[in-house]
Structure 1
Amino acid sequence: MTAPFPDWPADFVQRMDGRACACGSAPAPGDAGDRIRVYAGRVSDAFLMRHAAQRGYAVVVWKNGHAAEPADLAPRDADRYGREVLLVGTAVRRHFAALKINYLTLGNQTPHLHTNVVARYADDVAPGALLDPVGAALPEDRWRADAAALRALLTGESPLVRRWDE
């Protein structure tokens, strides 16, 4: 049988509708070899990634069942997801003293709702250009210290969380 969209993976339609979603509907584990969970929100989990072109790359992942797009969510859920993404982005910007934060909600490879939160700097490795999404492994001690600092900024009683939790 020929794939309905020959340039896409044969199971892409099933990935989109959740039947073949790589993320599944269960919340992601807290830590894995290349990521540390820095935030567990109501509708998303956020992870600081170790393999990155530069420090400050996090991924916010929708955790309440399968959704491929923000528009697949109920308006209240979409609003909450957006707030949690902005909360994580604000914490990344503050901790890493980033010049700019890029928010990338893609899904061409993994069509489960997630947003890449990418810190950009005055001394950026690629000013004005896209970064390689999978860079070298950042030094483990620094990566773990950054994750701990982000977790502290993203705890329930921090002023930052209260600002986005209205």
Structure 2
Amino acid sequence: MTEQRTGWSRWPDDWPATKDGAGCVLCAFVANEDPAWGVRIYTGQVANAYLATIGQMRGYCWVIWRDGHVCEPTDLDPADAQLFFADMLTV
């Protein structure tokens, strides 16, 4: 039997802090570059790329903005977004 929901789900109370980067695992990774998680394979203009050393997909890479927390690429101003996507396409 499936659970039926009646109404909208609510965001967790800490959602604004989470969206602003509190406890962001990607920001923490960029700061520490733990090789057990991933190895840097590219240093771009505004982002770094990492080859995953965890997970089940060989060859999976992350391209991560390195100048502070960004929730989504659409949060970047147009000039920064252009640089980010240029880095991503290079990888």
In the superposition, the TM-score normalised over structure 1's length comes to 0.42
- CA RMSD in angstroms comes to 2.2
Q: Which of 67, 70, 75 lines up with 1:72 in the alignment?
A: 75
Q: In structure 2, what is the Cα distance between the partners aligned to 1:53 and 1:10?
A: 32
Q: How many residues align?
A: 81
- For the pair 1:85 / 2:81, whether they are aligned, the reply is no
Which runs of structure 2 are paired with 1:1-166 in the superposition (5 Å)? 6=10, 8-18=11-21, 20-22=22-24, 23=27, 27-88=30-91
> Scaled by the length of structure 2, what TM-score is found?
0.72
Partner deviation per Cα, 1:80-135 (whole Å, 9 max, x = no partner): 101111111xxxxxxxxxxxxxxxxxxxxxxxxxxxxxxxxxxxxxxxxxxxxxxx
- Per the TM alignment, residue 70 of structure 1 is displaced from its structure 2 partner at its CA by 1.3
Sequence identity percentage: 38
In 2, distance between residues paired with 1:56 and 1:9?
34
Q: What does the per-residue CA deviation read over 1:1-54, in whole Å, with 9 as the maximum and x for residues that have no partner?
A: xxxx63x44322212123x14226x94334421211111112111110012323
Cα distance per residue 1:51-74 (max 9 Å; x no partner) = 232311011111112221212111
Structure 1's unaligned 5+ residue stretches are: 89-166
The 1:38–1:58 alpha-carbon spacing in structure 2 relative to 1, beyond 3 Å, is same
Unaligned runs of 5+ in 2: 1-8
Q: 1:71 and 1:34 mapped to 2: Cα distance?
A: 26
Report the Cα distance in structure 2 between the residues aligned to 1:9 and 1:87, rounded to whole angstroms. Answer: 37
